[in-house]
Structure 1
Amino acid sequence: MATGAAAAGLAVAAGAVSVAGPWDGGLRTAEREQAAAADAERDRTEAERVADTLPVAAPVLAPVDGAGAPAVSPDALAATLAPLLESAALGPEPAGAVIDLSTGEPLWTREERSGRTPASTVKVAVAAAALHALGPDHRLATTAVWDEEEERVVLVGGGDPTLSDEDLRALAREAAAELAGREIRTARVAYDLSLYPREQLHPIGVNDNIALITPLQVNEGRTDGSAHGPAPRADDPAAEAAGAFAAHLAGAGLRVEDRPRRADAPEDADRLATQRSAPMSTLVEDMLTYSDNDLAEAIGRATALASGEEADFRGVGRALTGQLRELGLPLDGVRFADASGLDRQGRTTAALLTRALAAAADPARPELRAVLTGLPVAGFSGTLADRYEDSAGTGLVRAKTGTLTGVNTLAGTAVTPDGRPLAFAFLASDTSDGTAAARALDDAASALAACACR
C-alpha cells in the first residue's frame, strides 16, 4: 500500500544538523534542472530560499527509511496526547489523527472521519490534488496575442496571481518587438478574462485576505507592494493589470490608442509573447508556506480546468474531490466549499489530511513532494516562524496552520527522538481564545517530536 512505504521519502535523521535546513535532501533536483536557466532564481523552491537563511540548528530532512527506528506505542502516544488535547482551549471535542509514516498504520485517532471546518489546513488537500492533476512542472501562462481584425493587442489572463509588474514589462517588450517586426506601430489594447466563467467574489468578500478572483491580476491585486500576508487590494485587479500592460507597451515604443477594454481574443489570434509562472511545485510550496489564499484559489481553478470542470467554486470542489479520489484518499465527511479555507461551509477530516501527507511521502509519488517541502517549519518559516518559541518541536515539526474565529487547526509531520516520522492532524472547533488554542495545538505537535512513546 502507498502509505505503507511512505517513510522512505520522509524519514528524518534525529538530531541531524545541517546548513541545508529541514528539507528533502535534494529529491526534487531533477524537477529544478528542467527549468530554463533564465528562470533559475524564480524557480528556486521556497524550501531552498528559506534554507539559505536558516541557522545551523535546523535538522535535515533526509531520504532515509524510519522503519529502522523503534516503533511508537499507540498506548504511550495516547497517554501523551490525552491531557494536551483535552485542554479547554481546544473546545469541546477536537478531532485528530496520528499515523506512522514508516508503516502507514494509525497510532491515534479521535473522530478522524468527522468533517470539521478546516480553515487553511484544507490547502494540504488542495496541494495534493493540484500536483496530481497538473504535475510539479506545470506553469500558468499569461499571453499577449494580436487581434488583426480589431488591430489590437489582447492580454489573455492565464490564472497566475503571482504575475508581477516586471513580468508584464517583459511581456510587453516582447510583444512590441514582434509587432515592430511586422511594421505595426499603433494598436489598441484589450484584456481577455475568459479562462474563468466569470470574475468571482469570495463569500467573505474582497478584503485584506483575498482579492477578487480573476484570471488576470498583478501581485494578487495588492496595492501596498507587499508579497505575503493581509494587504489592501485593488477594486478591479484585471483592469489595473491591463492598464499597466498598456503603459509598458507604450514604453516599449508602441503607440497605444484609447484605454484597454475587456474583450475575448479571437481563437485564431496570433500569439505575440508568453509569460509563464514558476512551476506548480513552487506555487504549491508558496501557498502552503505563507497560507496564500489568492494562490490557493488560483491553484484550485487550474486543477478544475485540468479536470474538465469550470473554473468556479463548484467546479473546484468537484475537481478536488475527483483528484483526491484518484489518489485513493478517504473522502467521507469531506466537502470543498473553496480552495483557501476561508469559507466556513467547507469540511475536511483528520483522516484525509494525514493520508494526503502520507501520499506525499510515498517514494512512488515524487510528483507530490511539494506538499511536504512547502510545510512551514516550526520556529523558522512561514506561518510558523513566530510560533514554537523554546519548544521541543522547533525545527522538528513542519505543519500547515488553520485559523478562523472559533476554529484552530494544524496538520503536518513530526519526528520522534528515535527518528520515527509521523503525520498528524488536529482540528479544533468552537474555540474561544485563538492564541491559547494555537499554543495547545503546538504543544500537541511538539509532544510528538519529544515522545519516545515505547
Structure 2
Amino acid sequence: MGVKNGNARSGLSAAWGRLKWPLLLAVVLLCLGAVVVSGMVPGLLGTPKQPHPVPAWQQKPEALSGSGTVLPLDDAAQLPVPAEVARLLDGTLKPDGSGSISGVVLDASTGKVLFDRQGSAKRIPASNMKLLTAVAALKALGPETRFTTRVLGSEDPSTVVLTGGGDVLLGGGASDPSAVMGRAGLATLASDTASALSAAGIKGPVTVQVDDSLFSGAPLNPAWSLDDVAAGETAPLFPLALNSGRYSPTVIAGPRPQDSAVTTARAFAEQLAAAGVAVSTGVERGKGVPAKVLASAESATVSEQVDLMLETSDNFLAEALGRMTAAASGLKATYDDATTAVRQRLADLGIATDSMELADVSGLALDNQVSARTFAEVVRAITSGPELSLRAALDGFPVAGLTGTLDNRYVDPGTAGGAGLVRAKTGTLNTVIALSGYVVDADGRLLVFSFIGNGLEPGAAGNKAAMDRSASVLAACGCRG
C-alpha cells in the first residue's frame, strides 16, 4: 500500500525513534506476563525468547509504492468494540475553542458502525469534496482514459486551432511520458504541428486560434469567494490550461491566469515560432475542422490525475475532472451539471445523496453540505467496495507525515503514532477542518473514518491536532474493551 511520489520521510525519524523502543518494550513485558501465568519462567530464563514482532502494517513504511489495494488484512481479526472506540475518540475528538466535530468510523469489511457522532448531520466538508469527485470521475470516465489536446486545421490553410480536450495539466516544454503534469507538452505539440504544416507546403505566416468550447457556462463559479479567487485558490475554468491553471508548475500560490485557454494558446504560438513557423501576432478564439488533425497529445490517465488531485488538493484540477465527468455522463460540461453528475455516480454506487447539497466539486464553496457518514461510505467504496475501478484512488490519499497535504503533520508526540499509518484526505477552510480516510488497526482490520469540524475558531492549531490524534488512536486500536 502506498502513494506515488512519496519520498519525504525525514519528518518522522525523531518521533518514530521515541515510539519504537517503548512499543517493543511493552510487547516484551506482555510476553513475560503470559509466560509467568503459564508457569514457564524457568524455561524462559534459560532460553531467552525473541519478542513478538510488531505487525508489518503497524511499522513505519520503508518505501511507498502504488499497489491498488489495501494489504495486509486479517479476515479473522476481532472487530473493535464500539463502546471502546467511542471512549477513545470522545477523549480526542474535541474542538479547540468554538464549534463542533462530527465523526463516523466504519469497519470496512462489514460496514458496521463503530462510532457515530452526529454522523448524518450536514456539514461543510471543504476539500473532502474531492473524494466524491474522485469516485465519480473514475466511475464515469474509467481509470485509464486520457484527454487529448489537438491542433486542427481550418478552412483557411494558414490558420491552426489549438483545441482543448479537458487536459489542464499541459506542460510548456516537451511532452514527458513519465509525468502527470506535463505529460502532454506544448513544445512537442508545436514541433509536430510544424512538421505537418511543412508537409502540406504551408509556409506561413500562420494564425493561431484556440477552441475552448468543450466546457460551457460561466468560467467562474458564483459560489466561490472572490477573495479566494484573487488569492489563487482557483481560477476561471477552461478545457485546456498550463500547469493546472498556474503560471509555473513550481509556484503554487498567488495570482493565476484569468483566461487559461488564451494563455495556453499564446504559449503554443511561441513554441510554434521556436519550431521555425512564421506566426502572426495575437491569438483569437475559433473552430477547427475535426477531420484536419495536424497534431495531438494525450494527458496522463484519469487515475493519475485523480491521485494528483487528492494528494495536493488541487481545486482547479478537481473542477476540470468534474466537467469531464459531466460530459461523460451525457450532460453539459457546466458547474451545475458537474455536481449533478457527481450526485448521479454516487447514487449508482448505492450511496445516499438525498440530503447532500453541492455547489461545486472541489470543496471551495461554503454552500456544500455533506455528512461525515457519506464520506465514510465513499472511502469504504474506494477501499473495499465492489467497483474495482475505484481502487485507483487509493494512491492519492496523503500518507500521515510523509506525503501530500499530510506531509507536515503527525510529527509531534501527540500524533506521531499515526505517522506512516493513516491515509486521509484533508480539508481546510476558515472555520472548517475535515479529515476522511482509512487505517489498518493493530489487529489487522481495515477501518474507514470521517471527521468534520464546522464553526471552528479560525487558526486554532488544536483542531487539526484533534483529528490527527483521533486517526492515530484508530491506527493503534485493538479496542476490545
Q: 1:98-136 CA distances to partner (integer Å, 9 max, x unpaired)? A: 001122211111222221100000111110111010110
- What is residue 240 of structure 2 aligned with on the other side? 216
- What is residue 45 of structure 1 aligned with on the other side? none
Instruction: Report which stretch shifted further, 250-259 or 285-294.
Output: 250-259
- What is residue 308 of structure 2 aligned with on the other side? 286
Gaps of 5+ in 2: 1-54, 174-184
Residue identity opposite 2:304 in structure 1: T
Instruction: After TM superposition, give the deviation of residue 370 of structure 1 in Å.
Output: 2.6
Where do 1:129-148 residues align within 5 Å?
129-148=136-155
- What is residue 176 of structure 1 aligned with on the other side? 194
**Is 1:200 aligned to 2:219, yes or no?**
yes
Residue identity opposite 1:204 in structure 2: S
- What is residue 89 of structure 2 aligned with on the other side? 81
Where do 1:359-374 residues align within 5 Å?
359-362=381-384, 364-374=386-396
Distance in 2 (CA, whole Å) between partners of 1:204 and 1:100 is 37
- What is residue 38 of structure 2 aligned with on the other side? none
- What is residue 122 of structure 1 aligned with on the other side? 129
Instruction: Report which stretch shifted further, 233-242 or 87-96.
Output: 87-96
- What is residue 166 of structure 2 aligned with on the other side? 159
Q: 1:340-371 CA distances to partner (integer Å, 9 max, x unpaired)? A: 10000011111211111111122642211132
User: Does the residue aligned with 1:413 lie in a helix, a strand or coil?
Assistant: strand
Q: Are the aligned partners of 2:157 and 2:202 in contact in 1 as well (CA < 8 Å)?
A: no
**Is 1:399 aligned to 2:421, yes or no?**
no
- What is residue 241 of structure 1 aligned with on the other side? 264
- What is residue 32 of structure 1 aligned with on the other side? none
Q: 1:45-70 CA distances to partner (integer Å, 9 max, x unpaired)? A: xxxxxxxxxxxxxxxx52x4332222
- What is residue 330 of structure 2 aligned with on the other side? 308
Instruction: Report which stretch shifted further, 193-202 or 274-283.
Output: 193-202
Distance 1:363 1:409, change over 3 A: closer
- The CA RMSD measured in Å over matched residues stands at 1.9
- What is residue 79 of structure 2 aligned with on the other side? 71
Distance in 2 (CA, whole Å) between partners of 1:328 and 1:447 is 29
Q: Are the aligned partners of 1:14 and 1:418 in contact in 2 as well (CA < 8 Å)?
A: no
Instruction: After TM superposition, give the deviation of residue 223 of structure 1 in Å.
Output: 2.5
Structure with greater Cα Rg? 2
Distance 1:251 1:198, change over 3 A: farther
- What is residue 442 of structure 2 aligned with on the other side? 417
Instruction: After TM superposition, give the deviation of residue 433 of structure 1 in Å.
Output: 4.1
Instruction: After TM superposition, give the deviation of residue 307 of structure 1 in Å.
Output: 0.8
Distance in 1 (CA, whole Å) between partners of 2:444 and 2:118 is 27
Q: TM-score, normalised by structure 2?
A: 0.80
Q: 1:147-193 CA distances to partner (integer Å, 9 max, x unpaired)? A: 03363100001222211102011111111111211111212110001
Where do 1:12-161 residues align within 5 Å?
13-16=56-59, 19-21=62-64, 26-27=67-68, 61-62=70-71, 64-85=72-93, 87-89=94-96, 91-149=98-156, 151-161=158-168
User: Does the residue aligned with 2:284 lie in a helix, a strand or coil?
Assistant: strand
Instruction: Report which stretch shifted further, 208-217 or 391-400.
Output: 208-217
- What is residue 250 of structure 1 aligned with on the other side? 273
Distance 1:92 1:198, change over 3 A: closer
Instruction: After TM superposition, give the deviation of residue 83 of structure 1 in Å.
Output: 2.1
Distance in 1 (CA, whole Å) between partners of 2:150 and 2:243 is 17
Aligned length: 405
Distance in 2 (CA, whole Å) between partners of 1:437 and 1:387 is 12
User: Does the residue aligned with 1:108 lie in a helix, a strand or coil?
Assistant: strand
Instruction: After TM superposition, give the deviation of residue 257 of structure 1 in Å.
Output: 2.2
Q: TM-score, normalised by structure 1?
A: 0.85
Q: 1:244-285 CA distances to partner (integer Å, 9 max, x unpaired)? A: 11111122122212322111224x441111111110111000
- What is residue 52 of structure 1 aligned with on the other side? none
Q: Are the aligned partners of 1:416 and 1:448 in contact in 2 as well (CA < 8 Å)?
A: yes
- What is residue 443 of structure 1 aligned with on the other side? 469
Q: Are the aligned partners of 1:91 and 1:428 in contact in 2 as well (CA < 8 Å)?
A: no
Instruction: After TM superposition, give the deviation of residue 236 of structure 1 in Å.
Output: 2.6
Residue identity opposite 2:271 in structure 1: H
Distance in 1 (CA, whole Å) between partners of 2:468 and 2:122 is 21
Residue identity opposite 1:172 in structure 2: A
Distance 1:432 1:175, change over 3 A: same
Instruction: After TM superposition, give the deviation of residue 230 of structure 1 in Å.
Output: 2.5
Instruction: After TM superposition, give the deviation of residue 374 of structure 1 in Å.
Output: 0.5
Gaps of 5+ in 1: 1-11, 29-60
Where do 1:322-333 residues align within 5 Å?
322-333=344-355
Distance in 2 (CA, whole Å) between partners of 1:344 and 1:248 is 40
Q: Are the aligned partners of 2:123 and 2:371 in contact in 1 as well (CA < 8 Å)?
A: yes
Q: Are the aligned partners of 1:330 and 1:351 in contact in 2 as well (CA < 8 Å)?
A: no
Instruction: After TM superposition, give the deviation of residue 221 of structure 1 in Å.
Output: 3.0
Q: 1:199-227 CA distances to partner (integer Å, 9 max, x unpaired)? A: 51132233311122111221123224426
**Is 1:188 aligned to 2:214, yes or no?**
no
Distance in 1 (CA, whole Å) between partners of 2:194 and 2:321 is 30
User: Does the residue aligned with 1:378 lie in a helix, a strand or coil?
Assistant: coil
Q: 1:67-97 CA distances to partner (integer Å, 9 max, x unpaired)? A: 2222211111011111222x24274432211
User: Does the residue aligned with 1:195 lie in a helix, a strand or coil?
Assistant: coil
Residue identity opposite 1:97 in structure 2: V
Instruction: After TM superposition, give the deviation of residue 372 of structure 1 in Å.
Output: 1.9
